[in-house]
Amino acid sequence: MEERIATLRRILDGSTYTVALCGSGMMEEGGFAGIKGGDRAYEIEQKYGYSTEEIFTSGFYTARPMQFFDFYREEMLKNIPEATESGTVMAQMERDGKLQCVISSNIFEQGRRAGCRNMIYLHGSIYRNYCPKCGREYPMEYLRDAKGIPACESCGFPVRPGVYLFGEMVDSAMISRAVDEISKADVLLLLGTNLHSEVFGNYIKYFGGRYLIIIHKHSHYMDDIADMVFLDHPRRILPLLGYGDTGEKECE
């Protein structure tokens, strides 16, 4: 393992432009159980009477806002994953000029909370909410602590979570920015995701750089395409690279 870590460090130190793609495994390593997979999907349907794919949609938010927010508060806002050592290392790499951009499907802003600055959040953020009628913005705590439907204090309209719900199109400008970053990359890090990702699959094809590195707990047959694969949580691999302080303190 030491030799492989040393090789990865040399690759990163020699890179002209490094981009990290952070998938659901980053939320998993922070303690988030997810809302779609296996037992969790069954538990949610038994608890709420609807599947995750039905509840977490704009149609359900519009037609059944009370039930939508019951789900959103209990399953998302009260289960925010911790920022982990992965984010701390990436933030230090960014400060050292070793990491130029982080592209994430994480709506919990683990990267920003650990100190990363150049972030692209493809699926939005739980921390940036707004009234779709008047545009007034609200913090995450307003939705989390509301009794019933969190209504806009200006016009009374239900506040809209600042995340992309299932079936919604990601902003085209954000897609273009992500594609541009990946196309510039000399090294592409897949953290908590793999080449078979339904989120990142269409983005990875724009990578034409030298090294594709996967650090993910779960293996996949497509891993053979990568230059290096570490089958573990990123929080257990990235600190071994030796970039700065790898403590767990969060930076807001």
Binding residue numbers for Zn(2+): 131, 134, 152, 155
Short-list 191, 177, 194, 190, CA closest to 121: 177
**Spatial distance between the Cα atoms of 214 and 190, rounded to a whole number of angstroms:** 5
Instruction: Please state, in angstroms and rounded to a whole number, the distance separating the CA atoms of residues 82 and 250.
Output: 9
Q: Which of 244, 252, 236 is CA-nearest to residue 110?
A: 252
123, 196, 216, 218: which one is catalytic? 123
SS3 state at 61:
helix
Q: Are 215 and 84 in contact (CB under 8 A)?
A: no
Q: Is 158 helix (H, G, I), strand (E, B) or coil?
A: strand
CA distance 39 to 159: 30
218 catalytic residue (yes or no)? no
Which of the residues are catalytic? 123
